[in-house]
């Protein structure tokens, strides 16, 4: 497995030997798993601190739901949600904060407030200024694959060659970022589990995650509590499972472990403490691969 060292500003991330954990803080009323739970600024900050104390390496702050069929929100609304949280949280924790947004102006104000990573689920397609901003600020940039938009992505997603098409998409996104001055050493890719994919697609991505190593950048994967896990359990047991249930959390940890053994450098999750325990085992197994 390839290892990487990301250094920027006051932060350093060593990726590859020990899997990094990105903890999720959704400052939204409508996210699929925790919408409304951390919509209050103080609750969001408190949750971010708890995730850091539990062992998160990055805290990801988002102010716009990207669940299937979600509506977009204005930049002004998104800024009102995330900037106060980032300002307060950055004063309390030492680990980097990422801003989960497709809007360059939201990213800019988030970076000014204390964020230091851009997580763009559109891989620069939504806002042509995002790569320029990442280059200007010298911060890591996460580029994710998505077919369609959150509103349309789960309407019969189809691929002729799933892995090849995602790799081509991400390779093009990397080139676009580099052309704008983003250093390759600052780029992270995400194959976009659940973003324009069926359950079969998601399982295939996990199984073949090591094929993305040829892009020569760190790999992030977001699996936590997603519909393919819930639907797998529903098919097996004949009933619905809430996203935050213990069953779905166990399924999440199984998917996390499989992904790490296939080459994930960063996992994006809701429950950091459980994931840290999972990674103690998965990372130990990785060290015995030879």
184-207: pLDDT as tens digits: 999 999 999 999 999 999 999 999
Q: What is the pLDDT of residues 201-210, one digit of tens each?
A: 999 999 999 9
- Model confidence band, residue 32 (pLDDT cutoffs 50, 70, 90): very low
d(CA 73, CA 27): 12
Check if the beta carbon of residue 118 is closer than 8 Å to that of residue 141.
Answer: yes
- Which residue of the set 103, 262, 268, 286 is catalytic? 268
Taken in order of first residue, the domains within the chain and their CATH numbers are 4-287 (3.20.20.20)
Active-site residue 226, yes or no?
Answer: yes
Q: Which of 218, 193, 216 is nearest to 206 (CA)?
A: 193
Query: Does residue 283 surpass a pLDDT of 70?
Result: yes
Question: Quick one: what percent of the chain has pLDDT higher than 70?
Answer: 91
Give 120-157 pLDDT, tens digit per residue. Answer: 999 999 999 999 999 999 999 999 999 876 666 566 78
Min mean pLDDT across 32-41, 51-60, 121-130, 270-279 is at 32-41
* Structure-derived torsion over alpha carbons of residues 122, 147, 207, 185, reported in degrees to the nearest 10: -20
**Active-site annotation holder among 226, 230, 262, 286:** 226
Residue 67 has pLDDT above 70, yes or no: no
Map residue 89 onto helix, strand or coil. Answer: helix
């Amino acid at each position: 497995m390839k290892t990487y060292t990301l250094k920027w500003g006051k932060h350093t991330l060593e990726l590859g030997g020990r899997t990094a954990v990105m903890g999720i803080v959704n400052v939204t009323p409508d996210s699929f798993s925790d919408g409304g739970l951390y919509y209050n600024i103080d609750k969001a900050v408190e949750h971010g601190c708890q995730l850091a104390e539990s062992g998160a390496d990055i805290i990801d702050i988002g102010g716009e739901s990207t669940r299937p069929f979600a509506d977009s929100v204005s930049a002004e609304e998104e800024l009102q949600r995330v900037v106060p949280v980032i300002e307060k949280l950055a004063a309390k924790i030492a680990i980097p904060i990422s801003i989960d947004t497709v809007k360059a102006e939201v990213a800019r104000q988030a970076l000014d407030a204390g964020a230091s990573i851009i997580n763009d689920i559109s891989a620069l397609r939504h806002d042509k200024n995002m790569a320029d901003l990442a280059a200007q600020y010298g911060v890591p940039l996460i580029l994710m694959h998505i077919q369609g938009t959150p509103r349309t992505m789960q309407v019969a997603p189809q691929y002729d060659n799933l892995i090849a098409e995602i790799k081509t998409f991400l390779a093009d996104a990397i080139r676009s970022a580099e052309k704008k001055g983003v250093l390759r050493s600052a780029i992270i890719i995400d194959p976009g589990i659940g973003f324009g994919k069926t359950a079969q697609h998601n399982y295939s991505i996990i199984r073949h995650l090591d094929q993305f190593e040829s892009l020569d950048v760190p790999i992030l994967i977001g699996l936590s509590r997603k519909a393919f896990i819930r639907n797998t359990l529903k098919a097996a047991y004949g009933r619905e499972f809430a996203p935050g249930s213990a069953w779905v959390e166990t399924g999440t940890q199984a998917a996390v472990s499989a992904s790490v053994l296939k080459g994930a450098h960063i996992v994006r999750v809701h429950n950091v403490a459980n994931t840290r325990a999972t990674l103690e085992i998965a990372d130990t197994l990785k060290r015995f691969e030879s």
